[in-house]
């Protein structure tokens, strides 16, 4: 092939492999060469397994001819992937980005990794993440934080920042991330890639390290919505969602006052995206959204309590091995009562019903910001990290200018959301998310593909 194979989408790479235009070994070697050239700067990998990957690629190539003859090739046969370091792989360390887990080597693999392997994917290794998936900026002292490939003086975001950065840098063609309040969608937006938060419960969590049982969800990340659709199809065992026509779709957007505090560049990018959908025949409906601040507060209580309970033993036995910011955030959870937690849990069903009745009364899908701005500079993040966080305010997302304001509530409500890029500002990506009703995941993926077809150059 004349073009750099690392620049292919996952769908295009899989097609090229099936057609014999390149081999899995060539593709894997190209990815490893790019990683060797740049990952010392970007720090996307925690564990890279080149020998294992090359052996798997050689085996994939050996199986291509027989597979073609039998019609038995998996949809990801020979395609290099890598995943957030909280999905267990038998025989490989799973650190969750923490010093506490550097010696943990599971004897089992996550169900989702097994599904991808059964589809023929090559696993290059495990990717960087915030410590125990807590930090929205991706800060990590184990390996150092992943850096944004668009500008390495800016963060890749969190907590699935390694996944998003590896995709944007052309190191891999797809990745599994996880999201308890924006941890797939935020880094996807900050790195100009695509990420799906599935409806709660759509994907299996066996073998995934979960900190917040009520909010955590795994999801696919790729360079395009079509890539995410293919990955999601493998993970749920269905056919890949096809593109949907935007014509006739009812798209809900927030009123201008809701977005008034956001940067002008983001507002303009969102406006352009809305206009693109309208020109394609979508009906744009301004909707009054329920109070996101209240929903975020309820989600914050659940998250704080559940992560504190999950890590309580480690806090008692090895508190010094947590970074101060993570330790302080964990301690916040012990400040809530059982009554606080139960009230937040019990309010969930009614909150979802109210949200669906109000926000989706006249629309099929919502279009909302993913993040309030482009990726911040490390210098700004480090300055904020020096501030004390031992207060409930650390979990309050009260205004649209707060990172996570438009994402955390979606986890609380159990809704699916697809993060898509929508332009740049000062050389850094901007993004938005499409939010659907429960189990509308495939519809979101289809709409995402339709939007991409109109905007990709």
With respect to CATH, is domain 5-129+146-178+222-234 assigned 3.90.1300.10? yes
Query: Which among 426, 429, 410 is positioned nearest to 418, based on CA atoms?
Result: 410
pLDDT in tens, 3-52: 899 999 999 999 999 999 999 999 999 999 999 999 999 999 999 999 99
Task: Please give the model's pTM, rounded to 2 decimal places.
Answer: 0.96
pLDDT confidence bin for 389, thresholds 50/70/90: very low
CATH of 250-455, one of 3.40.50.300, 3.90.180.10, 1.10.10.10, 3.90.1300.10: 3.90.1300.10
Backbone angles phi, psi at 217, to 5 degrees: -145, 135
Question: What is the pLDDT at residue 249?
Answer: 98
Q: Which entry of 159, 163, 211, 370 is annotated as an active-site residue? A: 159
Q: Label each residue of the chain as H, E or C.
A: CCCCHHHCCHHHHHHHHHHCCCCHHHHHHHHHHHHHHHHHHHCCEEEECHHHHHHHHHHHHHHHHHHHHHCCCCCCCCCEEEEECCECCCCCCCCCCCHHHCCCCCCCCCHHHHHHHHCCCEEEEEECCCHHHCCCCCCCCCCCCCECCCCCCEECCCCCHHHHHHHHCCCCCCEEEEECCCCCHHHHHHHCCEEEECCCCCCCCCCECCCCCCCCEEEEEECCHHHHHHHHHHHHCCCCCCCCCCCCCEEEECCHHHHCCCCHHHHHHHHHHHHHHHHCCCEEEECCCCCHHHHHHHHHHHHHHHHHHHCHHHHHHHHHHCCHHHHHHHHHHCCCCHHHHHHHHHHHHHHHHHHHHHHCCCCCEEEEECCCCCCCEHHHHHHHHCCCCCCHHHHCCCCCCCCCCCCHHHHHHCCCEEEEEEEEECCEEEEEEEEECCCCHHHHHHHHHHHHHHHCC
As a whole number, the mean pLDDT across the chain is 94
pLDDT in tens, 118-146: 999 999 999 999 999 988 888 887 789 99
Question: What is the pLDDT at residue 381?
Answer: 86
Among the residue ranges 142-151, 294-303, 387-396, 402-411, the one predicted with the least confidence is: 387-396
More confident of the two residues 143 and 315? 315
In this predicted structure, the answer to whether residue 69 has a pLDDT above a threshold of 60 is: no
pLDDT in tens, 254-281: 999 989 889 999 999 999 999 999 999 9
- The span from the CA of 68 to the CA of 154, in Å, is 44
For residue 206, count other CB atoms closer than 10 A to its CB. Answer: 11
- What is the arithmetic mean of pLDDT over 235-252? 96
Torsion of Cα atoms, 336 then 337 then 339 then 343, to 10°: 10
In this predicted structure, the answer to whether residue 70 has a pLDDT above a threshold of 90 is: no
- Residue 183 a catalytic site member: yes
- Residue 159 a catalytic site member: yes
Question: What is the pLDDT at residue 399?
Answer: 77
Question: What is the pLDDT at residue 392?
Answer: 43
Among the residue ranges 139-143, 166-170, 332-336, the one predicted with the least confidence is: 139-143
pLDDT confidence bin for 391, thresholds 50/70/90: very low
- Residue 214 a catalytic site member: no
Q: Where are the domains of the chain?
A: 5-129+146-178+222-234, 250-455
Identical fold for domains 5-129+146-178+222-234 and 250-455, yes or no, is yes
Paired residues of 428 in beta bridges: 425
% of the chain with per-residue pLDDT over 90: 87
Question: What is the pLDDT at residue 383?
Answer: 72
- What is the arithmetic mean of pLDDT over 299-324? 96
Q: Which entry of 24, 183, 199, 212 is annotated as an active-site residue? A: 183
């Amino acid at each position: 092939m004349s073009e750099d194979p690392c620049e292919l989408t996952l769908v295009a790479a899989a097609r090229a492999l099936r057609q014999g235009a390149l081999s899995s070994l060539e593709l894997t070697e190209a990815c490893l060469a790019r990683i060797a050239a740049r990952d010392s700067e970007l720090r996307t990998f925690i564990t890279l397994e080149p020998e294992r990957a090359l052996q798997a690629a050689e085996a994939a190539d050996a199986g291509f001819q027989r597979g073609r003859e039998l019609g038995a090739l998996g949809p990801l046969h020979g395609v290099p992937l890598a995943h957030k370091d909280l999905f267990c792989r038998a025989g490989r360390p799973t650190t969750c980005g923490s010093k506490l887990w550097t010696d943990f080597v599971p004897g089992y693999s996550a169900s989702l990794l097994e599904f991808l392997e059964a589809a023929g994917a090559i696993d290059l290794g495990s990717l960087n993440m915030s410590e125990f998936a807590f930090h929205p900026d991706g800060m990590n002292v184990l390996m150092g934080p992943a850096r944004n490939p668009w500008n390495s003086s800016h963060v890749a975001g969190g907590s699935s920042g390694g996944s998003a950065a590896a995709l944007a840098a052309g190191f891999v063609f797809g990745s599994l991330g996880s999201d308890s309040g924006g941890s797939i969608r935020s880094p996807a937006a900050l790195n100009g890639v695509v990420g799906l938060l599935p409806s709660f419960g759509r994907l299996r969590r066996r073998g995934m390290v979960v900190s917040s049982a009520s909010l955590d969800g795994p999801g696919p990340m790729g360079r395009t919505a079509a890539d995410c659709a293919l990955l999601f199809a493998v993970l749920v065992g269905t056919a890949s969602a096809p593109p949907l026509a935007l014509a006739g779709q009812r798209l809900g957007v927030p009123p201008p006052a809701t977005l008034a505090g956001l940067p002008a560049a983001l507002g303009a990018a969102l406006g352009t995206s809305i206009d693109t959908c309208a020109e394609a025949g979508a009906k744009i409906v301004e909707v009054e959204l329920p109070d996101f601040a209240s929903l975020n507060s309820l989600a914050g209580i659940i998250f704080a309590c559940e992560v504190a309970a999950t890590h309580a033993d480690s806090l008692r036995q090895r508190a010094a091995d947590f970074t101060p910011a993570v330790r302080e955030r964990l301690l916040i959870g012990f400040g809530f009562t059982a009554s606080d937690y139960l009230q937040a849990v019990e309010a969930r069903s009614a909150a979802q019903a109210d949200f669906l009745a109000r926000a989706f009364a006249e629309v099929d899908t919502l279009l909302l910001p993913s993040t309030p701005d482009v990726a911040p500079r490390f210098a700004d993040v480090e300055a904020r990290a020096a501030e004390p966080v031992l207060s409930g305010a650390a979990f309050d997302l009260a205004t649209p200018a707060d990172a996570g304001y438009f994402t955390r509530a979606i986890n609380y409500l159990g809704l699916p959301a697809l993060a898509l890029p929508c332009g740049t500002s000062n050389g850094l990506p901007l993004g938005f998310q499409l939010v659907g009703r429960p189990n509308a995941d495939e519809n979101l993926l289809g709409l995402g593909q339709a939007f991409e077809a109109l905007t990709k150059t």
